[in-house]
Amino acid sequence: MRVSLFITCLADQLYPEVGESVVRLLHRYGCEVDFPELQTCCGQPAYNSGYQDEAREVARNWIRAFEHSDYVVSPSGSCTGMVHHYYPSLFENEPEWKAKAERLIEKTYEFSQFMVNVLGIKDLAAEFPEKVTYHPSCHAMRLLGVREEPGTLLAHVKGLELIDLPYKEDCCGFGGTFAVKMADMSEAMVCEKAANVCSTNASVLVGTDMGCLMNIGGRLNKENKPVRVMHLAQLLEEGVKRGELAGRK
């Protein structure tokens, strides 16, 4: 199976190790992964700021980068949600580009969606004996409908104790440009989210979007809270390595 990695701006610039974990896990299950170098931003920041013409031009470039891919997989529900939810309306008056966007939507997935719903993988034989809590990002949950997939993968990790995050569906306050435009409100929201994470006594916070994890992790770090922040792909890859090590003993 041929898969193209849509890395996203945040992962590419700040968290490349997340993309590496995704690639290694896909390789583990027989996927041939390529990286279209034409890819840039999906256009979400411009779109959310009201610059639809600029967002449309960026989106055209994204479509050009991936239009010949068999599958597109991303470690971000937010950016994948932008493609799925907003591209059709963005090209409402351009039938040719709208058709291209809709064809791409059918083969573009967030990482956990692809693992569970396309590859049919639920149990990676991973081992991660720690207390973990999961933050569902707004866009993955509300735009893409990613609700069960991350939990399904975590439930099959040996030794992992998944602790429910209080008010888990509340936004962390990042929201991309929202955190810049409404800084005081954003800070209040992330303080509340960090407090809820700490209330679980989990040693690890896991999620599917680095925007949320960067925001919550930054607050936890500022408060000197000993909580490790990980993308789901990172946790699973580390768990696979732990499982293999345990099997060799």
pLDDT at 177: 81
Sign of CA dihedral 221, 225, 226, 230: negative
Q: What are phi and psi of 64, to 5 degrees?
A: -60, -40
Residue 82, CB-side half-sphere exposure with 13 Å CA sphere = 24
Mean pLDDT over all residues of the chain? 96
Compute the average pLDDT of residues 87-93.
Answer: 96
Sign of CA dihedral 229, 233, 238, 242: positive
Q: Is residue 247 over pLDDT 80?
A: no
State percent of the chain over pLDDT 90.
93
Tell which residue, 96, 104, 114, has the closest CA to residue 208: 114
Compute the average pLDDT of residues 180-196.
Answer: 94
pTM above threshold 0.75: yes
Could you give the CA distance from residue 217 to residue 227 in angstroms, rounded to a whole number?
A: 8
Compute the average pLDDT of residues 64-89.
Answer: 96
Contact present, 230 and 206 (Cβ < 8 Å): yes
> Residue 249: which pLDDT band, with cuts at 50, 70 and 90?
low
> Residue 181: which pLDDT band, with cuts at 50, 70 and 90?
confident
Compute the average pLDDT of residues 19-31.
Answer: 97
pLDDT at 182: 87
pLDDT at 167: 97
> Residue 187: which pLDDT band, with cuts at 50, 70 and 90?
very high
